[in-house]
């Protein structure tokens, strides 16, 4: 397949944007490339939440000797430059002031505060704007962000590891299913999310720390569903020095870093999502166990399913959840001896995401 120049530079924007994964949410992943003729004169990306936007970092990276080329250059950016005063001044103003020749973007910003106004501001400065280049890939890259803006809830990734005969583990005991490479991948996925959720049975049986020790990056907020208040206080989630948000009754004898919602029944998924969204947790990673995964599937609240399937045969135990109706396969690949299978909700898939790949 041959790519147009627009596509080549837009793909570069996506690559740069991805470097912010795990550090910018609930902001979108954005990369920017400034091209003069056939030469890149600067690049930038949104590196962390609250930090400068991609366009700002890109213009800052222009060498003094290249400044004179800026008015003849094309700015590529996967998302429409912002038009509102947030943590930083609007990028559309900056682009207009720099007076580039043309701006090429993949997606309009769905944020009601921007939504076309960034493009308008730039056009009003007499700069040509071309939108929609590799729009599907752009949507896919920022599927968390677009879901958060349009559906006002976190993007939900269900993840589980299963044996080759379809079991999560043996009941009542911690069962190692995945290999080391798969474990590292799972920790990378954790580091790219904002919150990791498990149920009471998993907390009590596996006593997980839900951290990212096999990868670098941040540790997301840990969320425990314990409506019965039955998880032993000695488990890591309730006894270590890291924050845990518990959907369950208040417990005494725990550190201040543990928060309880005070509800003493099972919390509906919708309510969990509302609380997390209000705390700016826009990427939710649900790790189990079987009951909790089923609860999300039954409620219809899931966007993506990631399965790590090992070669181990357990011959019995806790069955992995059946794939929900409407789960479309996006990709399959090997990591060490384990197979990774990624599925999407069909409606998400229909938006053109089938053209893109994940790793
Ligand atoms: Zn901006």
Q: Residue 74 maps to which CATH number? A: 3.40.140.10
Mean pLDDT, range 40-65, rounded to an integer = 97
* Token pair of 243 as six digits: 């924050």
Residue 140 Cα, ligand 1 centroid: separation in angstroms?
20
Residue 258: what pLDDT?
97
Mean pLDDT, range 36-61, rounded to an integer = 96
* Same domain, yes or no: 141 and 66: yes
* Same domain, yes or no: 69 and 94: yes
Residue 262: what pLDDT?
94
CB of 90 closer than 8 Å to CB of 118? yes
Mean pLDDT, range 204-208, rounded to an integer = 94
Mean pLDDT, range 306-329, rounded to an integer = 94
Residue 223 Cα, ligand 1 centroid: separation in angstroms?
31
Residue 358 scores a pLDDT above 60:
no
* First CA to last CA distance, the chain: 21
Residue 193: what pLDDT?
95
287 is catalytic: no
Domain end residue (candidates: 149, 177, 199):
149
Residue 92 scores a pLDDT above 70:
yes
Residue 321 scores a pLDDT above 80:
yes
Identify the sign of the CA torsion 82, 85, 87, 91.
positive
Residue 155 Cα, ligand 1 centroid: separation in angstroms?
22
Residue 63 Cα, ligand 1 centroid: separation in angstroms?
21
Residue 22: what pLDDT?
92
* Same domain, yes or no: 137 and 217: no
Residue 87 Cα, ligand 1 centroid: separation in angstroms?
9
Per cent of the chain over pLDDT 70 is: 96
The residue that leads in pLDDT, 288 or 19, is 19
Please tell me which residue in 43, 55, 192, 287 is annotated as part of the active site: 55
Residue 2 scores a pLDDT above 70:
no
CA distance 164 to 195: 28
Cross-strand partners of 44? 32
Q: Look at the chain and report how many structural domains it folds into.
A: 2
* Token pair of 300 as six digits: 């219809």
Task: Label residue 91 by pLDDT band (50, 70, 90).
Answer: very high
Phi-psi group of 152: left, alpha or beta (phi > 0 → left; psi -120 to 50 → alpha; rest → beta): left
Task: Label residue 171 by pLDDT band (50, 70, 90).
Answer: confident
* Same domain, yes or no: 70 and 143: yes
Mean pLDDT, range 195-200, rounded to an integer = 98
* Same domain, yes or no: 107 and 167: no
* Same domain, yes or no: 121 and 207: no
Residue 206: what pLDDT?
93
Mean pLDDT, range 54-67, rounded to an integer = 98
Backbone Cα Rg of the chain:
22
Residue 36 Cα, ligand 1 centroid: separation in angstroms?
22
- Measured at the CA of 349, the angle between CA 346 and CA 351, to 5 degrees, comes to 120
Residue 76 Cα, ligand 1 centroid: separation in angstroms?
13
* Same domain, yes or no: 89 and 167: no
* Token pair of 313 as six digits: 């045969």
* Same domain, yes or no: 206 and 330: yes
* Same domain, yes or no: 179 and 124: no
Mean pLDDT, range 23-51, rounded to an integer = 96
Residue 354 scores a pLDDT above 60:
no
Residue 53 Cα, ligand 1 centroid: separation in angstroms?
5
Residue 153 Cα, ligand 1 centroid: separation in angstroms?
23
pLDDT digits (tens, 9 = 90+) for 103-160: 999 999 888 777 889 999 999 999 999 999 999 899 999 999 999 998 999 999 999 9
Residue 196: what pLDDT?
98
CB of 237 closer than 8 Å to CB of 224? yes
Q: In three state form, how does the secondary structure of the chain look? A: CCCCHHHHHHHHHHHHHHCCCCCCCCCCCCEEEEEECCEEEEEEECCCCCCCCHHHHHHHCCCHHHHHHHHHCEEEEEECCCCCCCCCCCHHHHHHHHCCCEEEEEECCCCCCCCCHHHHHHHHCCCEEECCCCHHHHHHHCHHHHHHHHHCCCEEEEEEEECCCCEEECCCCCCCCCCHHHHHHHHHHHHCCCEEEEEHHHHHHHCCCCCCCCCCCCCCEEEEECCCCCCCCCCHHHHCCCCEEEECCCCCCCCCCEEECCCCCCCCHHHHHHHHHHCCCCEEEEEECHHHHHHHHHHCCCCEEEEEECCCCCCCCEECCCCCCCEEEEEEEEECCEEEEEEEEHHHHCCCHHHCCCC
Residue 55 Cα, ligand 1 centroid: separation in angstroms?
7
Task: Label residue 85 by pLDDT band (50, 70, 90).
Answer: confident
* Same domain, yes or no: 190 and 104: no
* Same domain, yes or no: 225 and 311: yes
Domain end residue (candidates: 149, 179, 195):
149
Task: Show the domain range for 17.
Answer: 5-149
């Amino acid at each position: 397949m041959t790519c147009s120049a627009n596509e080549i530079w837009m793909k570069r924007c996506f690559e740069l944007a991805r470097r912010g994964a795990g550090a910018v949410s609930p902001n979108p992943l954005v990369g920017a490339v400034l091209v003069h003729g056939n030469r890149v004169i600067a690049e930038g990306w949104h590196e962390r939440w609250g930090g400068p936007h991609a366009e700002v970092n890109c213009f800052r990276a222009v060498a003094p000797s290249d400044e004179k080329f800026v008015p003849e250059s094309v700015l590529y950016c996967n998302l429409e430059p912002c038009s509102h005063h947030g943590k930083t001044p609007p990028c559309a103003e900056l682009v207009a002031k720099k007076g580039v020749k043309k701006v090429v973007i993949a997606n309009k910003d769905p944020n009601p505060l921007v939504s076309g106004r960034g493009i308008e501001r730039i056009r009003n400065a007499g700069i040509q704007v071309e939108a929609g280049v590799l729009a599907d890939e752009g949507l896919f890259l920022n599927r968390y962000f677009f879901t958060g803006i349009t559906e006002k809830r976190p993007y939900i990734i269900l993840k589980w590891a299963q044996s080759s005969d379809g079991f999560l583990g043996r009941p009542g005991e911690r069962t190692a299913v995945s290999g080391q490479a798969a474990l590292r991948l799972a920790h990378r996925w954790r580091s790219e999310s904002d919150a990791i959720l498990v149920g009471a049975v998993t907390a009590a049986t596996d006593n997980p720390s839900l951290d990212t020790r096999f990868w670098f990056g941040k540790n997301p907020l840990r969320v425990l569903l314990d409506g019965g208040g039955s998880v032993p206080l000695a488990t890591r989630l309730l006894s270590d020095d890291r924050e845990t948000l518990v959907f369950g009754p208040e417990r005494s004898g725990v550190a201040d870093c543990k928060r309880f919602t005070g509800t003493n029944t099972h919390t509906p998924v919708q309510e969990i999502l509302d609380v997390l969204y209000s705390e700016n947790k826009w990427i939710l990673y649900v790790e189990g166990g079987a009951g909790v995964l089923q609860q999300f599937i039954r409620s219809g609240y899931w966007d993506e399913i990631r399965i790590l399937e090992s070669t181990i045969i357990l011959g019995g135990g806790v069955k992995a959840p059946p794939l929900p109706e409407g789960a479309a396969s996006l990709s399959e690949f090997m990591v060490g001896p384990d197979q990774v299978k990624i599925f999407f909700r069909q409606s998400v898939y229909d938006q053109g995401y089938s053209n893109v790949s994940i790793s």
